[in-house]
A = this chain, B = another copy of it.
Amino acid sequence: MRTDGDEVYPALAVSLSLSVASKTRQELIETGGNLCRRVGLPRSLGQIYGLLFLSNKPLTLEDIAAGLDISKASASVGTRQLASWGAVRQVWVPGSRRDYFEAIPEVAALLRKAYRDIVKPRLEAVQGRVEHLRTLLTEEREKGVIEAEEFEFCRSRLQILARFQKSLLSFAPWVDRFL
């Protein structure tokens, strides 16, 4: 962790209450980070979730920053992002006025939610987009921008797309049933 203000001890996560850096935790954090990076998400998200996922007790922002050696800022925005996705919960600890976080371990539920809240809406957006393209194409045909043959070709191609994402949308119930 990089403290703001002056340094105390050179990067020793001394205040961290959990058994510092077991290899297991370390590796889960790493794979979590990689997993995120691969999907185009900030690696810190996966790391934070991984850290919390193997944490006995809720952790503070400082714990997280220290445990992952990232800045307090990153920890802040990261936890907020995760919380907005329901992957992390902010818990109240009576004595302290810090924010404590814990992972929500129901991974399957998280994935289901992700599908409903992110993938599916986006698919529907794409659906609208394809429709738009189809009307656009016929317009251009009427204006004579495109010749008949090419028009027909494009039309069939767009139809393929339309059919495709309709079948993708029909996935939704199956996803729900499975997870």
Contact = CB atoms under 8 A, between A and B. Distances in A.
Interface residues of A, number: 44
A55 to B, nearest CB: 8
Contacts of A160: 105-107
A85 interface: no
A150 B18 contact: yes
A19 B144 CA distance: 11
Interface string A146-179: 1101100110010011001001001100100011
Contact of A54 (B27, B149, B157): B157
A3 interface: no
Interface string A108-119: 100000000000
Interface string A35-59: 1001110000000000001101000
Contacts of A35: 126
B167 A56 contact: no
A44 B146 CA distance: 25
Contacts of A129: 27, 31
A119 B150 CA distance: 36
A136 B174 contact: no
A56 B152 CA distance: 10
B31 A136 contact: no
A147 B19 contact: yes
B179 A146 contact: no
